[in-house]
Amino acid sequence: MDSFPIWHDDYLYTKDRVVLTEQELHIPGVRIFGHHVLYNAIPSLTWHCHDDAFEFSMPAQGTFSFSTLEENYPFSGGEVFVSHPDEVHGTNQVPVTTGELYWFQLDISDENHFLFLNQEAAHDLIVKLKAIPRHVIRTEIKKTLPLMERAFELALEGADKQLTSSLLQLFLHLIIMYSQKEPSQLSTDIIKVLDYILENITSELSLDQLASLANLSCSQFKQKFKKQLGIAPRHFINQQKIEYSKTLLREGNSVTETAMLLNFTTSSYFSTVFKKYTLYTPVEFLKKCREEEL
């Protein structure tokens, strides 16, 4: 554990990213509460941990991927990534992708100063949080995301700290409840579409074609796909194409050849999309790969 830094966030307020700390929040046990909207990828999160604190991260839009030292965990709409106190995590050298994310850290070191609860209630909640069995918890987004959104709004206003704490408590109890259920399964029609996308990733994949495959109208398909995966189908397709393009580039294909193989209209458009999802242009990506091999 000593080889990994203990991460403490500083207050930040920009157009795209806000991080509130204990000095702004004044809610016992809540160390930070953050929200960001990313329109382009940003550098990866290095390995780190939070002493005596859980961290709960929930996307409002997009798909993210966080990692422990043992495994990578992609998660999207309706899912919550949980890192436990002192657990090393990061993004395993993968840039943080586009999307919208809420997160907060919960310090469990003092049961007498925890979310305005009495010691007995605090102890009970902490014990249940420690028993959460998985890193990614699937929830009903219509029940959980509004709690995060409203709690953050109140925290940002500095208004009604008791209500903010109560919303976070309800969110935590829902996470505990959902963590005790079996992970939900994707419907067979969406699985069929996902398999088709992955098997035909070099093809031009129209949403009408995929909707027909699922026996749904295009609007029904887009709604159902996003509800189950937390990401729009076109966004998912682009993510998969960019992931496969990395393999093609490493195998020696030129940028233009790779763009054409993956049915991008031009190599410049491919380069733009590649950078949006990876932080690098294809040429910069190849240079980075060569440097890592030395």
The per-residue pLDDT for range 122-152, each reduced to its tens digit, is 999 999 999 999 999 999 889 999 999 999 9
* pLDDT attached to residue 184: 62
The per-residue pLDDT for range 105-114, each reduced to its tens digit, is 999 999 999 9
What are the extents of the domains in the chain?
12-180, 188-293
Which amino acid is located at 91 in the chain?
T
Order of strands across the sheet with 136-138?
A: 12-13, 17-21, 30-38, 99-107, 53-61, 79-83, 136-138
At 133, phi and psi to the nearest 5? Answer: -90, -15
Q: Angle at Cα 123 formed by Cα 119 and Cα 125, nearest 5°?
A: 120
| 12-180 and 188-293, same CATH topology | no
188-293 topology per CATH: Arc Repressor Mutant, subunit A (1.10.10)
With 0-12 / 13-18 / 19 or more C-beta atoms within 10 angstroms meaning exposed / middle / buried, residue 150 is middle
* pLDDT attached to residue 235: 86
For the chain, residues with pLDDT lower than 50 are 1
* pLDDT attached to residue 185: 66
12-180 topology per CATH: Jelly Rolls (2.60.120)
Q: Which residues partner with 256 through β-bridges?
A: none
Which amino acid is located at 70 in the chain?
E
Beta-carbon contacts of residue 89 (< 8 Å; ≥ 6 apart): 45, 47, 48, 49, 55, 66, 67, 68, 83
Lookup: tokens for 207: 């949403």
* pLDDT attached to residue 266: 93
Answer for the pair 106, 30: CB distance below 8 angstroms, yes or no.
Answer: yes
Beta-carbon contacts of residue 292 (< 8 Å; ≥ 6 apart): none
* pLDDT attached to residue 183: 64
Tell me which long-range contacts 6-13 makes (C-beta under 8 A, separation of at least 24).
Answer: 6/48, 6/49, 6/50, 6/51, 7/48, 7/49, 7/50, 8/50, 9/34, 9/105
* pLDDT attached to residue 181: 82
* pLDDT attached to residue 1: 41
